[in-house]
Structure 1
Amino acid sequence: MQLKNAKVVVTGGSSGIGKATAQLLIEKGAKVLITGRNAEKLEKVAQEIGATPLALDMTDTEQFAAAAEKTQALLDGPIDVLINNAGIGEFAPLGEIQLAQFQSVYMTNVFGLSLLTQAFLPQLKAQKGNIVNIASTAGLKGFATGSIYSSSKFAVRGLTQCWQAELRPHNVRVQLVNPSEVTTAFNQANRAERPEEAKKLRSQEIAHAIASALEMDDRGFIPELTVWATNPF
């Protein structure tokens, strides 16, 4: 697709992978709307990178239809790309897991992601658009204490495959991106961005992967893309 003048929504766009992706797509000429729970932070980041902000809590599913309608008004037309980046994590070993942890993570990572995509689906079908789901290498292989988070990302991978089967006949491309460890604010209690490390991925590498996959001619698409650090050891 051509990113210039494309209308894009990036959830969780006020920091980390979401912010870097929004910034790169804007540099390539796209019109980008970013969402996030913290309206003040979202507004500040939007002004910084030239995006349009829309405060949205991924657990408030009753607001999704209105958010999709408002997005179309803010971007002056239906969207071409939805990047489902917003996500949270909870970690605990089996024996210490609480139901509330599963409910919290799945509400954002799985249920919110699915229902927000559904709200935007008529626009995406009309535009023969693109859905990019951000999962994780944790969605490819489990790890100790990862029951909650890893299973949520396995679910995102399964959702992506289902949507690929459903939406290919409508010329909607559904792509999955699996980052390995990235130095972001993810799982940081103070939500502060972690400093860059020479051997770990930055948000910019994931943004590059997303933009590159989108820029492929519409006759083809990358169903799943995994990004590793070259040598994290």
Structure 2
Amino acid sequence: MELNNSRILITGGSSGIGKETAKQFIQRGAKVVITGRDEIKLNQVATEIGAIPLLFDISNLNTINEMAEKAISLLGGKIDVLVNNAGIGVFSKLGEINVEDLQSIFTTNVFGLALLTQEIVKTFKKQNYGNIINIGSSASQKGFAGGSIYAASKFALRGMTQSWQAELRKFNIRVSLVNPSEVATAFADPKREEREEMPNKLGPEEIAHSIVSVVQMRDKGFVQELNIWATNPF
């Protein structure tokens, strides 16, 4: 699709992958709304990169309908791309798992994501066009020690992505899953402090490049699933 003058919503857009993806879309002429839970940080980043801020916690399920309407309104009543980037992680081994962590991870990574997408898809169907980019993980394909909760949420997202692909192709809605391996960001940091770029790990730039490339493909085709690995992480 043509990115110039396109309208894009990115959840979790105030840091890491979301911030860099918004930046790259904006550089190509897109109008971008970013969401985040920290109002000060969100407004600072939006000013820095030229995005439109929307204070929104996707785990607050009762506000999703309202927030979806606000996002589309901020974009001028239309939307071309939804990037489902907001996500959290808890890494507990069997024997350490508790209900609170299960509920927290699934509320953000699965329930909130699904309900927001459902609202945005209403507009996509009216337009007979749209793009959904779900940010998965290498954990959506293979579990790991300590990954019971997080990997399960990403396996769920992979299943939802495949289901949406089957449901939405006839409406010209493209649904893609982007699976990064380890990325040096603030992810899973309680203080949400960005990690320093590491020479042997992926950075937000590689993932953002991948997302932009998937969306830029001509509308007659789409990428079902894309895996991004560091070349030499050893």
Q: Which runs of 5+ in 1 are unaligned?
A: none
Output one character per residue of 1:63-99: Cα deviation in whole Å (capped at 9) or x when no partner: 1111122122211121110000000001111011101
Partner of 2:169: 168
State the one-letter code of the partner of 2:27.
Answer: E
Partner of 1:85: 85
Does the 8 Å contact 1:81/1:124 carry over to 2? no
Cα deviation for residue 195 of structure 1 reads 0.3
Partner of 1:5: 5
State the one-letter code of the partner of 1:46.
Answer: A
Q: Report the RMSD for the aligned CA atoms in angstroms.
A: 0.7
State the one-letter code of the partner of 1:228.
Answer: W
d(CA) in 2 for partners of 1:21 and 1:105? 23
Cα deviation for residue 196 of structure 1 reads 0.6
Output one character per residue of 1:1-47: Cα deviation in whole Å (capped at 9) or x when no partner: 11111100000000000000000000011000000111111011000
Partner of 2:202: 201
d(CA) in 2 for partners of 1:72 and 1:231? 41
Identity of aligned residues (%): 58
Asked if 1:23 is matched to 2:23, the reply is yes
Tell me whether 42-51 or 63-72 shows the greater mean CA deviation.
Answer: 63-72
Partner of 1:107: 107
Partner of 2:66: 66
State the one-letter code of the partner of 1:111.
Answer: F
d(CA) in 1 for partners of 2:135 and 2:72? 23
Partner of 2:130: 129
Asked if 1:157 is matched to 2:158, the reply is yes
Partner of 2:142: 141
State the one-letter code of the partner of 2:49.
Answer: I
SS state at 2:214 partner: helix
Q: TM-score, normalised by structure 2?
A: 0.98
Aligned residues: 233
State the one-letter code of the partner of 1:130.
Answer: N
d(CA) in 1 for partners of 2:228 and 2:78? 30
d(CA) in 2 for partners of 1:152 and 1:191? 20
Which ranges of 4 or more aligned residues in structure 1 deviate by more than 4 Å?
none
Cα deviation for residue 167 of structure 1 reads 0.1
Cα deviation for residue 109 of structure 1 reads 0.1
State the one-letter code of the partner of 2:166.
Answer: A
SS state at 1:197 partner: coil
State the one-letter code of the partner of 1:214.
Answer: V
d(CA) in 2 for partners of 1:68 and 1:200? 34
Cα deviation for residue 189 of structure 1 reads 2.1
Partner of 2:56: 56
Partner of 2:34: 34
